Structure 1
Amino acid sequence: MSTIEESVDVRVPVQLAYQQWSRFEEFPQFMEGVEEVKQLDERRLHWRAEIAGKEKEWDAEITQNIPGQRIAWRSVAGAENSGEVNFSPLDEGTTRVSVRMNYETEGVVEAVGDAAGVLKRRVEGDLERFKKYVEARA
């Protein structure tokens, strides 16, 4: 299993950063390749995304949700992944959003992409787009 760790500082209070991130169905607006996220209930999400040129779907369960601090998840069906997003106040109006994601590659194309850092760059880009998205809405 591979792991990615990235973070970004956003110029919004911690509660606002957390609230925006917890609007899961808005993920396609700033996450590359994510086509749809459906919130099935308080703890379950259904994802549809394009990864390495293939459409993938999976269900994820939120395993921990501490408002204003952390959201953790793990897949329960489909593409294997898990991780957490932490929200740390740097000062009254700035928050560090840190992502740690574990994932399993499938097939040669994904393994080569992983070795080349494709998913790491995608996560970096997603965090930068989240920064612009949440700051523009603040």
Structure 2
Amino acid sequence: MEMDVPISVAYECYSDRESIPRWMPFISSVKILEDKPDLSRWSLKYKAFGQDIEYSWLARNMQPTPNQKIHWRSLEGLPNRGAVRFYPKGPSSCIVELTVSYEVPQLLVPVASALQPFLESLLRRGLERFAVFAKSN
């Protein structure tokens, strides 16, 4: 998604993991572990497919590449991993690309075929809200 902020602003805003619930609609909290700042505890809460969905996981924040890439992988809880990549578009704009892979939880297997487009839509809305969030910082 193209954003009207410099790449350094987008990168800094996304690097603040604990602020992610402010713009990602289904993430209810992210807490960096005080004694291990490379680890973070994530909670997801959302009502979908007629169910209240709640999951949590512990993620290792992998070594970032400043202004280029932030990535993670879960160590326990909901299996997932992902990356956010930042590409310069001009002096005051950039492209932010979010990639997430996950295992479908057993509870959601019956709706697995609908899950991918649903999650893509949620993530796109999250990136749209992130663009507004980054621009206001």
The TM-score by the shorter chain falls in which range?
0.7 to 0.9
Q: Which residue of 1 aligns with 2:133?
A: 133
Higher relative contact order (CA 8 A, sep 6+): 1
**Cα RMSD, aligned residues only:** 1.4
Q: Which residue of 2 aligns with 1:18?
A: 11
Confirm whether residue 115 of structure 1 aligns to residue 113 of structure 2.
yes
Matched pairs, number: 129
Q: What amino acid sits opposite 1:136 in the alignment? A: S
- Give me the whole-angstrom Cα distance separating, in 2, the residues matched to 1:119 and 1:110: 14
Q: Which runs of 5+ in 2 are unaligned?
A: none
Confirm whether residue 33 of structure 1 aligns to residue 26 of structure 2.
yes
Q: Which residue of 2 aligns with 1:49?
A: 44
- Give me the whole-angstrom Cα distance separating, in 2, the residues matched to 1:110 and 1:90: 39
- Give me the whole-angstrom Cα distance separating, in 2, the residues matched to 1:24 and 1:74: 14
- Give me the whole-angstrom Cα distance separating, in 2, the residues matched to 1:111 and 1:133: 35
Q: What amino acid sits opposite 2:45 in the alignment? A: E
Matched position secondary structure for 1:64: coil
Cα offset, 1:111, TM superposition: 5.2
Cα offset, 1:107, TM superposition: 2.2
Q: What amino acid sits opposite 2:56 in the alignment? A: E
Identity of aligned residues (%): 30
- Give me the whole-angstrom Cα distance separating, in 2, the residues matched to 1:46 and 1:108: 21
Cα offset, 1:109, TM superposition: 2.8
Cα offset, 1:33, TM superposition: 1.5
- Give me the whole-angstrom Cα distance separating, in 2, the residues matched to 1:118 and 1:111: 14
Runs of 4+ in 1 over 4 A off after TM superposition: none
- What's the TM-score once normalised by structure 1's chain length? 0.87
- Give me the whole-angstrom Cα distance separating, in 2, the residues matched to 1:14 and 1:136: 14
- Give me the whole-angstrom Cα distance separating, in 2, the residues matched to 1:98 and 1:31: 15
- What's the TM-score once normalised by structure 2's chain length? 0.88
Cα offset, 1:54, TM superposition: 1.8
Closer, same or farther in 2 for the Cα pair 1:110/1:33, shift >3 Å? farther
Cα offset, 1:110, TM superposition: 5.1
- Give me the whole-angstrom Cα distance separating, in 2, the residues matched to 1:111 and 1:102: 19
Confirm whether residue 70 of structure 1 aligns to residue 59 of structure 2.
no
Confirm whether residue 124 of structure 1 aligns to residue 124 of structure 2.
yes
